[in-house]
Amino acid sequence: MKCALVTGGSRGIGRAVCIRMAELGYHVVINYKGNQAAAEETLAAVRAKGADGELLQFNVGDAEEVQRVLGGWVEGNKEKYIEVLVNNAGVREDVLMFWMNVDQWRNVLGPSLDGFYYVTKQVLNGMLLKRYGRIINMVSLSGLKGTPGQVNYSAAKAGIIGATKALAQEVAKRGITVNAVAPGFIRTDMTAELNEKELSAQVPMSRFGTPEEVAEAVAFFASKGASYVTGEVLSINGGLYS
């Protein structure tokens, strides 16, 4: 059974990606950190597309938990194979560097950068053995241009961009592609408290994007047709920056 694992699949962009993966016919493994009710809603949406899926709760930034829960899942589900991995889970904790304490640095770097490492390590071996796989990392405009007030978040996302390009070259011969998607302002819980009207004025398209618009790009990278595209970062930002 071919599976797509989406970290942070309970809400926002991750949920839209789960639904898109269901449309592509994947059995969707929906990771989330704590919001079980939202994760159940995603699963219902996946099933409404005629596909199936399951929930897998773990904190991507916790090495032991990823090993125990995801590693245990991989070990105990030999008939299932994660063909698509979407490293989407991420958080932001914005503060100017002058005031940023070490916890605010680690709280952001942990789930994003460490999480990429912990989760990908559990899944990569199966892809190498099958000589096929698609890894898509959710980064950000902040990782490309840097955003003031987000030194931690920008560093985490820039780190994943570097990892995307390096890993892409390591595994290219094995039929595995590794790409990244870099959204600008997307309407989700993460951006709920931002002043959308004011910030939209900075965007050439004069609006925030939708999770579905991001999921469409993930679907392209996940497709068989994207077989000669690897190590790329695709901006989805309404023309804000390129």
Q: Which residues are catalytic?
A: 153
Told to check if 185 binds ligand NAP by CB under 6 A, we report yes
In the range 21-50, which residues lie near ligand NAP by CB under 6 A? 31-35, 38
Spatial distance between the Cα atoms of 161 and 138, rounded to a whole number of angstroms: 9
Per-residue string for binding with ligand NAP, 79-118, x by CB under 6 A?
Answer: ---------xxxx-------------------x-------
Q: Which stretch binds ligand NAP (CB under 6 A): 11-19, 71-79, 101-109, 170-178?
A: 11-19
Residue closer to ligand NAP (CB basis): 171 or 215: 215
Q: Of these, 69, 128, 190, 233, which contacts ligand NAP (CB under 6 A)?
A: 190
Q: Of these, 82, 138, 176, 180, which contacts ligand NAP (CB under 6 A)?
A: 138
Minimum CB separation of residue 129 from ligand NAP in Å reads 26
Told to check if 152 binds ligand NAP by CB under 6 A, we report no
Residue closer to ligand NAP (CB basis): 14 or 53: 14
| Residue 144 CB neighbour total at 10 angstroms | 20
Told to check if 140 binds ligand NAP by CB under 6 A, we report yes
DSSP, residue by residue, 24-86? TTPEEEEEESS-HHHHHHHHHHHHHTT--EEEEE--TT-HHHIIIIIIHHHHH-TT-EEEEEE
- Residue labelled with tokens 């993966």: 21
Residues binding ligand NAP: what is the number (CB under 6 A)?
30
Spatial distance between the Cα atoms of 119 and 131, rounded to a whole number of angstroms: 19
Residues that bind ligand NAP (CB under 6 A): 7-8, 10-14, 31-35, 38, 59-61, 88-91, 111, 138, 140, 183, 185-186, 188-191
